Amino acid sequence: MKGRGIGVSIMSDDVVAKRDVLKGKLDKALAIGFDTIELPIHGMRVLLNGRLNEPLLDSYVRLLSQYPLKYTMHAPFSINLFDQADGERHFALLLQSIRVCGAVGAETLVYHPGRYVTEEMLTYRNFWPQYSEADKQRLLERERNWMRQAGDEARKIGLRIGMENMRPYLDNPDYCYSTDPIALAEQVERVDHPSIGVTLDVGHLHLAMQDLPYSVEEAVERLRPHIVHLHLHDNFGRPSFSLEKNQFDMLPVGRGDMHMPIGFGDVPMDRIARQLGSQIDGYLIHEIRGMYEDEWPRLQQSLLAAAQGIAI
């Protein structure tokens, strides 16, 4: 596969929050040969209680502009356009995230679609909101309207927003519609905006496929026309409960959204790559946890091989 750029996500908020530490990671990524870095906006701390800290953002812009790197950004995980109590606030945060992308010069913003039950509530069943089918359709329509507005703002700065397919949880497999890639494709098609597409997360796809009535090829083919971004990482296809977050506990049993380097688990990357084809109009980002940073050099070589049409 060949895309607009190949790189890694710096997932640790603690690293991104400390600009001197982040600088060391950027130096390392550039020396290895990556041309793209993905950063979490929430890790930058530039959004506080809904407001944009412009002086702090300016300091990040000065740092990032020192490097001949391309940047993609991840919107705050806490944004939930399905929030019934404070949805307008969440939409405003999405618009602020677009402003951050404009300042940095990012071409892609990754966004987590609306959740009926937020991840922090999954273990508190008594607090789960109750939805009728009409309620769910209303929330989906609201998200579509807001995504069109966000798309209009994104288009002004040459930004594309990739709605990500989400990981399933055993607590509540239906907490988010986009755990089903075909449901995500349908939502993006109904948004119908040139600046709104899909972030295909292959690790999340592998976890979700265990309970879906179609093949990984069918899922990828349905998403393929809309893909603007790729997240590459590995796991063993075994969903976990939402409280299972300690990666060192999960490693021995091979459970959950492990974000390991491709090749460490059994994500069917060869099948996914064949279905995607040789050209991807988007960035290929290895979204692996910091504990696997020693694998960066190997990942860079594997992505170069993929760009030349060789399976990852």
**Which domains, from first to last, does the chain contain?**
5-307 (3.20.20.150)
Which class for 30: exposed (0-12), middle (13-18), buried (19 or more C-beta within 10 A)? middle
Answer whether residue 311 shows pLDDT above 50: no
Task: State yes or no: pLDDT of 14 exceeds 90.
Answer: yes
Q: Which residue type occupies 21?
A: V
107-116 pLDDT per residue, tens: 999 999 999 9
What is the phi/psi pair of residue 213, to 5°?
A: -90, 30
Q: Kindly report the average pLDDT of the chain as a whole number.
A: 94
Provide the CA 3 distance to its chain's centre, in angstroms: 17
Report pLDDT for 259: 97
**pLDDT value, residue 1:** 60
8 Å CB contact between 164 and 178: yes
Strand 47-48 versus strand 196-201 pairing type: unpaired
Convert the pLDDT of each residue in 244-298 to its tens digit.
Answer: 889 999 999 999 999 999 999 999 999 999 999 977 899 999 999 999 999 999 9
In the structure, what pLDDT confidence band is assigned to residue 301 with cuts at 50, 70 and 90? confident
Statement: residue 173 has pLDDT above 60: yes
pTM: 0.95
